[in-house]
Amino acid sequence: MVLIPDSCCGAAEKRMHDGDHDMTIAFVGNPSVGKSAFFSRVTGVGVMVSNYPGTTVEMTRGTVKVGQKKIDIVDLPGIYSLGTSTEDERVSKEYLLREYPDVIVNVVDATRLERNLYLTLQILELGVPVVIALNQLDAAREMGIDIDAPKLSRLLGVPVVPTVATKGIGLEEVLKEAVDPSLSPAGRIRVHYDNHITNAINDLGVDFPDTASVIRLRALENDSDFVRMCCRPHEADLLLSKASEMASEIEDAHNMAISDTMARDLYGEAGQITDSVQSIVEKDTSLKHRIDDMLTSEYVGVVGLAAALLLTFLLVFRVGGFLEEGIVHLFETYLIAPVEAELAASNPLVRNVIIYSLLGIEAGFAIAIPYIGIFYIILSIFEDSGYLTRAAFLLDNLTHRMGLHGRAVIPLVLGLGCNVPAIMATRALNTLRERRIASVLISLIPCSARTVIILGLVGTFVGYWAAVSIYVLEIFIIFITGWILGRGLPGERTGFIMEMGPLRHPDVVSTLKKTWLRIREFVYIAFPLLIVGSAFLGGLDSLGILDIFENAVSPISVGILGLPAFAATALVFGILRKEMALEVLAVLAGTANFATVLTPLQMYVFAVITTIYIPCVATIAILKHELGTRDTVMISTFTILLAFTVGAVVYQIGMLL
């Protein structure tokens, strides 16, 4: 089984099995087609989530046995095409060309057949054995759509298996077809491209007889990534140069970009196939359809979205806060306090490292279980029900002003509960540029821990409206920061294209499995860094370095910001957990009645700085995992400078008033 002839495929040699698996199957499909539900049902919970090398794009792997064969299954990110407009598309294409799976299972949404067949036709051109999983047939029937699966199979020249992934229908049949030894790329459909393109492909075949037609086609489209993955460097350069000359002639003849011509031909082929196999038996006038119309309407939809976001925030904040309080109480009462008493006479360095490590573990459990768990259950319900795409559609115009798209709304709202899962949720964004902007904005959003400081300090001792004004200030800063980054940050800008599938009933099993996978990743990745960071702070404290730091920054903390000297140490502890800044401030002040030791202006400035400056250790750990060290340092530095600048301005204005 060879995708491309050996003479022009030095970079695409067939992947050798590692001995642990008999074959590899890649799941490929559009976003929101039920691919993740399919994968979860097939593999269970014994899966591994990892990033593709050199990227932040997530891929999930699992293992399943079909008969006597042990199958390695890879769930690639949802994509609309094998282009390069998003990092997800680049990674999926690179995986298919470099890793070369034995079989591709293309999960297709039966309710949006024509749109999905665009990707299907591109996949069929690769020459890899393919099985089509025609998914969500139950939703299609509810919409009055009937699809002739056997006829679709004959037209495409590949097996087509009707499935309902959320109910486990048809999944075994798909795997049986995938492991069938007789499955091959022969006899499949060939797209009828424009005559100019077809002639150019044939002409290139004269000069480059050892290249597959799909490589020549991609060369005409100037898909240099595809060509260079498949051909040796010198041959790739020659092919791209020759194809560029031909493409210019075709573009002049059609008065349009050759990529647009190819897209037109692909959609035309997809449309003809859909018309041949699909029939509408009745118009959808169901209650679900009417609800869908309301959810996407200009007025009712926005009100409904505001209610959904408010409910999400209330559940995450209230329930999460309740659980966090209980977890912290258990740790403090039954672990940290006894250990502190036991280590009272031990070496200060050892004592601090141990105690601070335990505080880090406490912070991890208090974040992962209450906030991440609850939010990801809600997020999975939003995803599986199809509501997430509707929320993105409604708020696209607003987020566009900050260089983002509607799908960024959910991570930004999540930041009000906890910044950690919010930054993890930015993976849903298309490009690294968008993830960077969203991550910066999320780092500025006042999470529940910062809310403790705003309400516990300013709200209690200064006044309710003073606390509200901090939120107003934060919203202004976030919007201005997003506006500046959206216009000044380099990187690829993508259009907002998101298929809105039908509303569905979420599957409880899939929701819980998806939630566990996301929580597990936080525990495995952020937890160790959180504990190490906590131990590091404990060591600095025992060695007196924090005192040195306090004296060193006093010209800024006292002279410019107007805070008492001990407030700088409290801000350092806030890096571990934001609410710890307030707790340490009370310890250093010798009282929890802050009105006796701080002026209203000092409390207000302290709260403003705490809500803006460097995120907590857990957030820093996730930033490093998602964006890398360089971006993490830049975001942290930016927030520190911004916090001190805003704090100084607020102090000066307060002094004038």
Instruction: Say if residue 165 carries a ligand binding annotation.
Output: yes
| H-only helix segments in 368-493 | 373-385, 387-394, 396-400, 409-414, 419-424, 432-444, 448-453, 460-461, 464-488
pTM for the structure as a whole? 0.63
Instruction: Say if residue 77 carries a ligand binding annotation.
Output: yes
Per-residue pLDDT tens over the stretch 204-249: 989 898 888 899 999 998 888 888 888 888 889 999 999 999 999 8
> What integer pLDDT is reported at residue 457 of this predicted model?
83
What residue has token string 């006093």? Answer: 554
- Looking only at Cα atoms, what is the longest distance across the chain? 88
SS3 assignment, position 636: helix
Closest CA to 431 of 398, 408, 413: 408
Vertex 646 angle, CA 642 and 652, to 5°: 150
Instruction: Say if residue 617 carries a ligand binding annotation.
Output: no
Instruction: Say if residue 55 carries a ligand binding annotation.
Output: yes
The whole-number average pLDDT for the span 541-545 is: 82
> What integer pLDDT is reported at residue 391 of this predicted model?
73
Instruction: Say if residue 136 carries a ligand binding annotation.
Output: yes
SS3 assignment, position 3: coil
Count the alpha carbons within 13 Å of 629 in the hemisphere toward its beta carbon: 0
Helix (H) or strand (E) holding 47: strand 47-51
Per-residue pLDDT tens over the stretch 295-306: 777 678 878 887
- Find out whether 86 and 494 touch, Cβ atoms under 8 Å: yes
How confident is the prediction for the chain on average, in pLDDT?
81
Q: Which amino acid type is present at position 552? A: A
CA distance 108 to 486: 34
Per-residue pLDDT tens over the stretch 640-656: 999 999 999 999 999 98
SS3 assignment, position 106: strand
Strand stretches in 112-244, DSSP E = 130-135, 145-147, 160-162
> What integer pLDDT is reported at residue 16 of this predicted model?
44
Closest CA to 411 of 522, 492, 312: 312
Instruction: Say if residue 19 carries a ligand binding annotation.
Output: no
Closest CA to 457 of 555, 298, 583: 583
SS3 assignment, position 546: helix
Per-residue pLDDT tens over the stretch 403-449: 676 667 777 776 776 787 788 778 767 677 888 888 999 999 887 67
> What integer pLDDT is reported at residue 106 of this predicted model?
96
Residues facing 570 on adjacent strands: none
Confidence band, pLDDT 50/70/90 cuts, at residue 65 = confident
Helix (H) or strand (E) holding 28: strand 23-29
Q: Is pLDDT at 11 greater than 90 in this prediction?
A: no
User: What is the gyration radius of the CA atoms in the chain, in angstroms?
Assistant: 28
Per-residue pLDDT tens over the stretch 595-606: 888 899 999 999
Residue 350: CB atoms within 10 Å: 13
Residues facing 27 on adjacent strands: 75, 105
Backbone phi and psi for residue 619, each to the nearest 5 degrees, phi listed first: -65, -40
CA distance 580 to 598: 18
Instruction: Say if residue 600 carries a ligand binding annotation.
Output: no
Instruction: Say if residue 138 carries a ligand binding annotation.
Output: yes
Confidence band, pLDDT 50/70/90 cuts, at residue 158 = very high
628 versus 406: the higher-pLDDT residue is: 628
Confidence band, pLDDT 50/70/90 cuts, at residue 14 = very low
DSSP assignment of 580-622 equals: HHHHHHHHHHT-S-GGGTS-HHHHHHHHHHHHHSS--HHHHHH
> What integer pLDDT is reported at residue 417 of this predicted model?
66
Instruction: Say if residue 333 carries a ligand binding annotation.
Output: no
Structure tokens at 526: 């952020």
Confidence band, pLDDT 50/70/90 cuts, at residue 8 = very low
Contacts of 34 (CB under 8 A, 6+ apart): 107, 109, 135, 136, 165, 166
The whole-number average pLDDT for the span 322-328 is: 79
> What integer pLDDT is reported at residue 513 of this predicted model?
74
- Find out whether 398 and 412 touch, Cβ atoms under 8 Å: no
Instruction: Say if residue 75 carries a ligand binding annotation.
Output: yes
What residue has token string 């298996």? Answer: 161
Instruction: Say if residue 29 carries a ligand binding annotation.
Output: yes
Closest CA to 169 of 68, 38, 287, 62: 38
Confidence band, pLDDT 50/70/90 cuts, at residue 2 = very low
> What integer pLDDT is reported at residue 109 of this predicted model?
92
Q: Which amino acid type is present at position 86? A: T
Closest CA to 381 of 524, 505, 279: 505
Q: Is pLDDT at 56 greater than 60 in this prediction?
A: no
CA distance 486 to 429: 14
- Find out whether 561 and 577 touch, Cβ atoms under 8 Å: no
Contacts of 507 (CB under 8 A, 6+ apart): 37, 166, 167, 384
Confidence band, pLDDT 50/70/90 cuts, at residue 317 = low
Instruction: Say if residue 164 carries a ligand binding annotation.
Output: yes
Instruction: Say if residue 203 carries a ligand binding annotation.
Output: no
> What integer pLDDT is reported at residue 12 of this predicted model?
39
9 versus 139: the higher-pLDDT residue is: 139
> What integer pLDDT is reported at residue 483 of this predicted model?
85
Vertex 317 angle, CA 314 and 318, to 5°: 75
Confidence band, pLDDT 50/70/90 cuts, at residue 627 = confident
- Find out whether 380 and 354 touch, Cβ atoms under 8 Å: no
Instruction: Say if residue 168 carries a ligand binding annotation.
Output: no
Phi-psi region of 409 (alpha: psi -120 to 50; beta: other; left: phi over 0): alpha
> What integer pLDDT is reported at residue 351 of this predicted model?
87
Share of the chain above pLDDT 70, in %: 83
The whole-number average pLDDT for the span 482-504 is: 67
Q: Is pLDDT at 538 greater than 80 in this prediction?
A: no
Closest CA to 221 of 188, 253, 246: 246
> What integer pLDDT is reported at residue 131 of this predicted model?
96
- Find out whether 331 and 340 touch, Cβ atoms under 8 Å: no
Instruction: Say if residue 58 carries a ligand binding annotation.
Output: yes
Q: Is pLDDT at 518 greater than 90 in this prediction?
A: no
Vertex 410 angle, CA 408 and 411, to 5°: 70
Closest CA to 418 of 621, 568, 592, 629: 621
Helix (H) or strand (E) holding 278: strand 278-280
> What integer pLDDT is reported at residue 269 of this predicted model?
93
DSSP 427: G
Lowest mean pLDDT among 256-260, 319-323, 530-534, 555-559: 530-534
CA distance 301 to 431: 27
Confidence band, pLDDT 50/70/90 cuts, at residue 15 = very low
Instruction: Say if residue 35 carries a ligand binding annotation.
Output: yes
Instruction: Say if residue 34 carries a ligand binding annotation.
Output: yes
Residue 83: CB atoms within 10 Å: 18
Taking each continuous run of H as one helix and of E as one strand, the counts in the chain are: 32, 9
> What integer pLDDT is reported at residue 316 of this predicted model?
67
- Whole-angstrom CA distances from 348 to 354, 359, 439, 531, 538 are 10, 16, 37, 18, 10
Instruction: Say if residue 419 carries a ligand binding annotation.
Output: no
- Find out whether 438 and 404 touch, Cβ atoms under 8 Å: yes
Helix (H) or strand (E) holding 534: helix 508-542
Per-residue pLDDT tens over the stretch 349-395: 888 888 878 876 776 676 556 766 777 788 778 877 777 777 767 76
Vertex 210 angle, CA 207 and 213, to 5°: 85
> What integer pLDDT is reported at residue 265 of this predicted model?
92
